[in-house]
Amino acid sequence: MSRQTAQTCRPFFIALLLGCAGASSAFAQLPSRGTLTANNISFAYFTEGSGPTCLVVGYPLAVSRALSPRLKRNLRFVFLESRLTTPEERVGDVSHVTMDTLVDDIEQGRQRLGLDHICVLGHSIAGVLALEYARRYPQHVSHVVMHGTPPFWDKRAADAMAAYWKGEASAERQKRLASSWARIAPDSLQKLPSSSADILTYTTNAAKYFHDPAYDPVWLLEGDYWNRQAGQRLLGPIMASYDLGQGATIEPPVFLAIGRSDFIVPFHLWDDEQRKIPKLSYNLFARSGHYPMLEERERFDELLLQWLQRTSR
């Protein structure tokens, strides 16, 4: 580890050992919830826990519910809404949005919050946002945490997903998925607002997301809002040309948690991609799907906290 890297990491490690004593005064003064403006859009945020700062980007509500009380006793999370979870009337036209735009939202949010040398966490596709933020702003990032995150999202991913479902999904799992969809009226999705329809689609597909094919994730997403246009922009045109290996080297250490039973992001997508992140800690969870931090909480917490201390020395 270089002297410069050690100086950057040390404050996070000290804060992890000492709890709130290591938090910056600017962070300590943050209210438990509020709003900020980034790129002329008003984004909500809320905070939970105590300890060194971890900024959660992308889909904050579900992540907040999935993270354990133990983690919130060791880290203070700042959950920042994004264009993905902000209503269309506030976000406006997304046809011009690029990866740089989404990363700049995070940077402006960090500045408004007065945060520095932070862990950045992203779930699912939002893990890519956390990773790209660290690539562009390594001076502000101590660590990156991703779970259920794909290294790419294009035809290769779609083909791998279909093949993994066909080859690895048990008869019970496939039956569970079919029965879940059988309970949905054919025209019900068309009658719902786009956010509600997308969330209902997601929860109906629970057999693809969770190790337990009978798991009911409705509570995770209750009251959440998904901006369909922003989501389609990220998962479509932006990710279609994404290459993890392009751009500056990702300097901060990265913790990746992937579930063996994740049929949306098959674990083997990372087989040839891990080498593109120099300080990657790849963690496969045998009894998890898309949410290792929820499905195997004890093991996830232990591995993450040990990794934070080890990589902060």
Domain ranges within the chain, ordered by starting residue: 3-155+227-311, 167-221
Q: Using pLDDT thresholds of 50, 70 and 90, give the confidence band for residue 31.
A: confident
**pTM over 0.85, yes/no:** yes
Mention every residue, 6+ apart, whose C-beta is less than 8 A from residue 172: 213
Query: Could you read off the pLDDT of 253-311 as tens digits, one per residue?
Result: 999 999 999 999 999 999 999 999 999 999 999 999 999 999 999 999 999 999 999 99
Residue 106 clears pLDDT 60, i.e. is over it: yes
Residue 20 clears pLDDT 70, i.e. is over it: no
Mention every residue, 6+ apart, whose C-beta is less than 8 A from residue 3: none
Q: Which CATH number applies to 3-155+227-311?
A: 3.40.50.1820
Query: Could you read off the pLDDT of 171-184 as tens digits, one per residue?
Result: 999 999 999 999 99
State mean pLDDT over 192-205: 97
pLDDT at 12: 60
